[in-house]
Amino acid sequence: MPATSAPAASAAPAPPARLATRINPVGTLPQGGTGIVAFMVTNVSSVIATQVTANVTLPGGVSYLAAGTLGMTSLDPTGPGGWTCGPAASGATCTHGPLAAGASTTTFLRVVVAADAPTGTPPGISVGDGGRQVSARGTAGVSAGGFPARFAASGRYAVITAGAALAGRDDGECDASSWGWQPARPHCPAGITLTLPGPVVWAALYWAWAGARPQATIGLRGPGGNYRQVTGTTASAAVDLGIRGLPGIPVHQAFADVTGLVARYGAGAWTAAAPAIGWPARGWPAAGGSLAAGGSPGDGDVTYLGWALVVVTADSGAPPGQVMVLDGARPVDAADPGFSAPLGGLLTGQSVKVQVVTWTDHGPEASAFTQALAAQPAVSFAAATAPYLVGVITATDSPGPNRP
């Protein structure tokens, strides 16, 4: 009788991967506004995670809009980092394909916050690969205000910030008069020279004015181009000059996404012009032209404070890191001599590079500095010799260059 071979032992199934996760808002989640929630998943095991599922629990009153593309508004459910996300009763459910041992992946969820959303409760997340689920919770939830994220991304990027006073007269003067009683007309440059180390990923135009609140419209001209009318959304605050009996001066900052314009015209000389009476009906100046003769900026109740471009570019020479652009409108003045703005997000490492755009009675001021990265990172602002409005904050944990 022929010998029979023993049945082959079946291979034991591979153990599931072990995962770790983090989640947090980028900047703040302001009541009645929009924001971005970031989460990261890391495979901390020695085996591949074949299919990762993340269940995101958003705070009450916060709804998922779309995954977005590098933090920008999008209806595409495929977000950055290789995640595909969809709405769920608790917030969002996201899936990711194979994740190699030791690898990390980050994505950003754009959300909208109800005006009556309760404050305090941070977002949460639970992730798994068919084995044990791991969970995490953020450090901050909905707030009454603050500086929410306009843009957030993870990769190799550079941040470029440049600004100038607004050209608003043919005689070369700028409408950058003081918030106080005595007007001042400092010399102002005609524009800025933009240097771009790589392809444009995202770009924003900011401009500010004091006084009445006209339509937030401005003219922007790139290298070799004509003025293009740009209309933005506005955030406002009142600046207290510390003069008894004098009400706060209304100050406004407008934002517009100009990624397409900056990508089209690229590096070089950029100029911006405040709308004069009759604009844009009389038309913006042609390339190389000046403002319409006799036009005065805006109306008699408006004082333009300047404009700034904030551009994020790809930068193959930069190490990988996370970048964020936050904006808002909060004064440092007699009534509020200082505050701290939370950065949030998933910043890591020993330090964070920060750029800030503030608005003063002499136009925009851009500053860049590095600070130690705390457990709950924030940027602090203190009183100066004159009041100012904090408008834009950028931050990156990459040791790569931030270029003011």
Q: How confident is the model at residue 319 (pLDDT cuts 50, 70, 90)?
A: confident
Q: What is the predicted pLDDT for the residue at 5? A: 59
Cα dihedral across residues 164, 309, 379, 65: positive or negative = positive
Residues near 28 by beta carbon (within 8 Å), at least 6 away in sequence: 35, 140, 143, 145, 146, 147, 148, 326, 342, 344
- Quote the tokens at residue 86: 């969809």
Paired sense of beta strands 351-360 and 124-128, if any: unpaired
Of 261-270, 300-309, 370-379, which has the strongest mean pLDDT? 261-270
Q: For 357-394, how does the pLDDT look when each residue is reduced to its tens digit (9 = 90+)?
A: 999 888 899 999 999 988 889 999 999 988 999 999 99
Amino acid at 122: P
Q: What is the predicted pLDDT for the residue at 169? A: 40
Q: What is the predicted pLDDT for the residue at 69? A: 41
User: What domains, with CATH codes, occur in the chain?
Assistant: 19-143 (2.60.40.290), 157-403 (no CATH)
Q: For residue 182, what are the CA distances in angstroms to 58, 185, 305, 384?
A: 49, 10, 15, 19
Q: Please answer whether residues 92 and 77 qualify as being in contact, where contact means their C-beta atoms are separated by less than 8 angstroms.
A: no
Q: What is the predicted pLDDT for the residue at 352? A: 92
Closest CA to 24 of 400, 322, 310: 322
Q: What is the predicted pLDDT for the residue at 299? A: 44
Q: For 201-212, how does the pLDDT look when each residue is reduced to its tens digit (9 = 90+)?
A: 999 999 998 887
Q: What is the predicted pLDDT for the residue at 165? A: 85
SS3 labels along 288-341: CCCCCCCCCECCCCEEEEEEEEEEEEECCCCCCEEEEEEEEEEEECCCCCEEEE
Average pLDDT rounded to a whole number, residues 318-338? 92
Checking if the pLDDT of 218 tops 50, the result is yes
| pTM exceeding 0.95 | no
Q: What is the predicted pLDDT for the residue at 388? A: 93
Q: For 109-165, how does the pLDDT look when each residue is reduced to its tens digit (9 = 90+)?
A: 999 999 999 998 999 999 999 878 999 999 999 999 999 999 999 999 999 999 998
Percent of the chain with pLDDT over 90: 60
Lowest mean pLDDT among 294-298, 315-319, 331-335: 294-298
